[in-house]
Amino acid sequence: MNDLWQAIAARIGEATGKPWRMREQRAVGGGSINEAWRIGDGEREWFVKLNSADRVEMFAAEAEGLQALAAADAIRVPAPLDWGSHGGRSFLILEYLPLRSSPDPKAFATALAAMHRHTASSYGWHRDNTIGSTPQINRQSDDWIDFWRERRLLFQLDLARRNGASSRLIDRGRELADRLPAFFATWTPLASVLHGDLWSGNWGADDSAAPVIFDPAVYFGDHETDLAMMTLFGHPGRGFFERYDEVLPIDDGFSTRRTLYNLYHILNHFNLFGGGYGSQAEGMIDQLLAELG
């Protein structure tokens, strides 16, 4: 491990143009996929993620995702400094941001809506990344329904089949995939830049109380997908959705599509953790099909 930290210190020095010597380090809890560390030289601190060497592309994609979010110039994200591998380990070095627990809901809504106004000409992204530790396929498409069916819903259903999901879940899920156009009869979303994994553990506020988002799974798609996940594991706070709707109007069909978009994450949780997420996903599919009659 000492060789690894020496290599990381050298990379910090190269990236900042000033020799850097680590004087303090402490493990940071909260993550289930990577090790996380806070390191410093007495003057400046950095946040470092560690994993096995074969995860270096995961870190490269995360760094590029943070850069894509920063390019919208709407909401603060930790700036990536460098990433790579050494001695069987991969690492990602990020700006360290002291965080409060939650941002002001209305300020958060204003900033996120402004970020979602940053759009591309197609759905997806120039590279794949991960959602948790699951591959996330971002091959670009001009058709949002096709993108969501093939790269999101069917991809997770295929993983779920291999992970032992019930035949009913798979069959009903494929029926839902065939009927997706019905949820978009009056809604054609812009390809907004998305955080992609925006649950309550991936947002906070900096020392000036400004909202911060981190740990992204970036791609371009329907901004409703970010809004949906914000209520799946947590909630952004009272007044958030009212303010967001003032800045970027929320379509009436979101109340139904919220379940559709969150199904992706529940299926992913089944594929990562198993347990009751399978029955939860099946219930969501039944609810969505019942909406169609």
Q: Which sequence positions are flagged as catalytic?
A: 197
Q: In 3D, which of 71, 137, 111 has the Cα closest to residue 213?
A: 111
- 66 phi, psi to nearest 5 deg: -60, -40
Rounded CA separation 227/291 (Å):
20
Residues 6+ apart with CB under 8 A from 283: none
The amino acid occupying position 7 is A
- Whether the CB-CB separation of 219 and 144 falls below 8 Å is answered with no
Rounded CA separation 247/255 (Å):
18
